[in-house]
Chains A and B, each alone.
Chain A
């Protein structure tokens, strides 16, 4: 590339900072809470700015006011009546808005800056700096703000400036703590280490890597601190510690209260400034919470829920097959208007007693969805849109929720990936296994539970002495064994193992694979092994289902898959996988990436990456072809039809 080309690039592409603000605004405008809050706030800000124009009376002079004007009820002349000094409440309200908002914004600014600096510095530098700053923060937090403010203001001259300063200087503690914990979490990210590795010093890292990620939180916090500051100012003024030369809402309340507005029946003199405080604080709170939802979308995440069955039961299935999955389809329907994500489409396979089937595919190919779908444990948006799953002759997809709850864990159980997160850290492993037994078999005799727990631990190779240890006292491999013991608690006949060895070291992985292989022989367990590791599949599986983009690419016994694969995807996947026995082999990657499930290609889902694709592949979905008479071998590829 020449300098000229680069400068052209510079000209055409130097657009003002990218879409991030537009994105933010788009999300923001969709959030009702944030929009309502901001609008409420803007109304008040505009009113305050325009108060000289909007005000109907001059409240800074007592000229022409007689005693007859005191506590006048609302009228055409005085919309909100008059106060103790005969001044127009409506006009005072408008001026008061300005004072309250000024106090709120400046005090919040001071406390956000102090809290932000203390939070970032202590979170980033840690050690003694953090210890002393945080102890200081704790002390400041323990001291009740309001009495201290009262004392300080009483000792100094109660001017607007002093009030702002005191509220600002005392209100930073929560911000400091929140910012510190956010800084700690940002600091632990690898990109901070990377910045250090490229030679970045502390100031650089704070400016470019910590601040941009802490700032959104500080903005949200600022909004909330403004409302606290406004309340604090009103409280101080109400106690008679306000700046006597200004007319804040708190001052209005103070004078009305002191000078008998209640006994005079002049409720408007109290209600109007009270309404102003309520309006602004409510607006700020709504705005702050909405802003937090927009900036931190994780707050609104889904949780696991059982999907609803939509198919009716048909006939039972043949006897030696334990699990018979027939054309199961699962879609994610997030939004009625958007196209559904077709995560699993017409996937079929069977599982016999003692059989170990490998379910292989890249991330996002629908493996995990398929597994969760078998037990109807899909997230809310996941819907089973077709197919049957027969277990011992009964269709799991047609069962009632209570019926399938009875099948889960008792007949078919799951070993999840990442055993670290699946165990409760504050209960012993033995307790947790006992709980799994009691929860699913309530009638299990209490006196036998201990013996059963020990038996299960023995089965998975955990020492009896370690029964009463906590999960953190276990290593990663031991925890995975404990998870397997739990899955075995109710003597299931099928175990779904979802990437059970992914985070483990090779030696520990070998131990766990050996254990699973032993268990299936000893207990005649059928196992569905979900993995992306073709090596593991070759080592332990009997049959293999290769998934791609939610559909079956190829399904055959293990030897056929590795030695006579027919689907181009299987072939390419094998070429990309390292083989220790032939280190001189050249690894080839599959160009491109798996399709997005809500934007699938029109024809074969693998066509865009397939080296052998021809015209038909891009327009027509291939059917699943059976390739061997008698023996199992299915693959979905147009080439197989041509060659037949």
Chain B
């Protein structure tokens, strides 16, 4: 059932990358299961944090949402329409509604463009606000909303003249100038210094309130999600293993992976040094997905059955789901 209230509904989305070519003996080529059956939905104005370590598929998922990768299977309904089958022209229209903020503000700005050129580029591409005054007004508004005030001081400057925090604000402004409804923020603060991180998170929180943005906040740092996200989805090897309201997940995690992840987040208080649940080894290669529960080889509480059956996603508490056999009553 797709209700109109869901602005975004992701259904069993998959992205497998082929590695090498199929062999001449008829064997299938090896596949990287980057995203392997992800389901979630979002209401308008929601902020969902997608959390996981590298290789869990969170970045590939963002590429699928942006239409920068083609899905292998599954659907993504945005405002009721399946966007995985969008044509090039539809995709271009969609890019006005869905925008992205990239991780690295040093890499994601073209050094030869001025700030004004960067922020007005989306308007140029979409042939919006053709009147130069109106165009500049929109650029100025986007910059000022992103905290670069007064905007006039920034228009003619170049990325190298700005600090990391200011550059990330430019990236945010260039996403906002199209007035999107959904913002995908891929690790927007991980390259920034601590003192600036708080500033950018607070800015995103303000913008979300002011512009009623729906935000997907992708991060590897569970420590920051509490300040911004309404809900958290924890990913492991291409799947969501736990999803729920932020405080529920942080204070009362259900899945053993979430528990381990939470236990190793450094806490800035030496009096709270605690026993860490350090998982040994590393996330398995997404080419050979383990049988049964994909977390079982590293799981500290795995039982024999975990090697065989792939656990279903079940609602453990109200609006708090996890996929673990031990949670099945």
Contact = CB atoms under 8 A, between A and B. Distances in A.
A580 B265 contact: yes
B260 A507 contact: yes
A6 B193 contact: no
Contacts of B158: 18, 20
Contact of B223 (A6, A10, A510, A580): A580
A432 to B, nearest CB: 21
Given A9-B152, A198-B121, A538-B267, A190 B104 contact: yes
Interface stretch (B27-35, B37-45, B270-278, B319-327): B270-278
Interface stretch (A343-351, A489-497, A569-577): A569-577
B250 interface: yes
Interface string B142-179: 00100000001001101000010100000100110010
B72 interface: no
Given A6-B136, A190-B102, A507-B279, A589 B198 contact: yes
Interface centre among A13, A213, A584 (most CB of B within 10 A): A13
B271 A559 contact: yes
A18 B114 contact: yes
A213 B220 CA distance: 32
Interface stretch (A40-48, A204-212, A323-331): A204-212
B223 A13 contact: no
Interface centre among A13, A18, A194, by most chain B C-beta atoms within 10 angstroms, is: A194
Given A10-B136, A194-B100, A539 B198 contact: no
A533 B267 CA distance: 10
Contact of B108 (A10, A191, A362): A191
Contacts of A579: 223, 267-269
Interface in B287-303: none
A406 interface: no
A563 B271 contact: yes
Nearest to B222: A580
Interface string A500-519: 00000111111100100000
Contacts of A535: 223, 265-268
A514 B278 contact: yes
A204 B126 CA distance: 11
B250 to A, nearest CB: 6
B228 to A, nearest CB: 9
Contact of B110 (A212, A477, A572): A212
A335 interface: no
A6 B133 contact: yes
A196 interface: yes
B194 A583 contact: no
Contacts of A6: 133-134, 136-137, 140
B282 A508 contact: yes
A190 B262 CA distance: 30
B107 A576 contact: no
A3 interface: yes
Contacts of B92: 199, 201
A34 B171 CA distance: 37
B71 to A, nearest CB: 17
A363 interface: yes
Contacts of B193: 362-363, 532
Q: Which of A6, A534, A580 has the most CB of B within 10 A?
A: A580
A581 B107 contact: no
A593 B192 CA distance: 12
Given A1-B140, A196-B68, A511-B278, A562 B112 contact: no
Contacts of A539: 266-267, 270, 273
Given A510-B276, A581-B272, A593 B165 contact: yes
Contacts of B136: 6, 9-10
Nearest to A579: B268
B309 interface: no
Contacts of B226: 578, 580, 583-584
A537 B270 CA distance: 8
Contacts of A584: 226
Interface in B87-111: 91-92, 95-96, 99-100, 102-104, 107-111
A583 B246 contact: yes
Interface in B106-125: 107-114, 121-122, 125
Contacts of B144: 1
A514 B268 contact: no
Nearest to B108: A190
B268 A3 contact: no
Contacts of A577: 194, 198, 268
B261 A507 contact: yes
A588 interface: yes
Contacts of B308: none
A189 interface: yes
B23 interface: no
A336 to B, nearest CB: 26
Given A1-B140, A559-B271, A580-B262, A197 B125 contact: no
A439 B54 CA distance: 36
A400 interface: no
Nearest to A461: B280
B53 interface: yes
B198 A576 contact: yes
B81 interface: no
A549 to B, nearest CB: 13
Nearest to B193: A362
Contacts of A194: 100, 102, 108-109, 171, 174
B20 interface: no
Nearest to A501: B266
Contacts of A588: 198
B66 interface: yes
In the A-B complex, the 10 residue pairs with the closest CB atoms: A583-B226, A535-B266, A199-B95, A589-B199, A510-B264, A587-B198, A190-B108, A589-B198, A190-B107, A505-B53
10 contacts: A15-B156, A191-B107, A197-B102, A198-B125, A208-B113, A213-B112, A510-B276, A535-B265, A538-B268, A587-B197
Interface of A: 1, 3, 6-7, 9-10, 13, 15, 18, 20, 189-191, 193-201, 204, 208-209, 212-213, 362-363, 475, 477, 505-511, 514, 532-539, 558-559, 562-563, 572-581, 583-590, 593
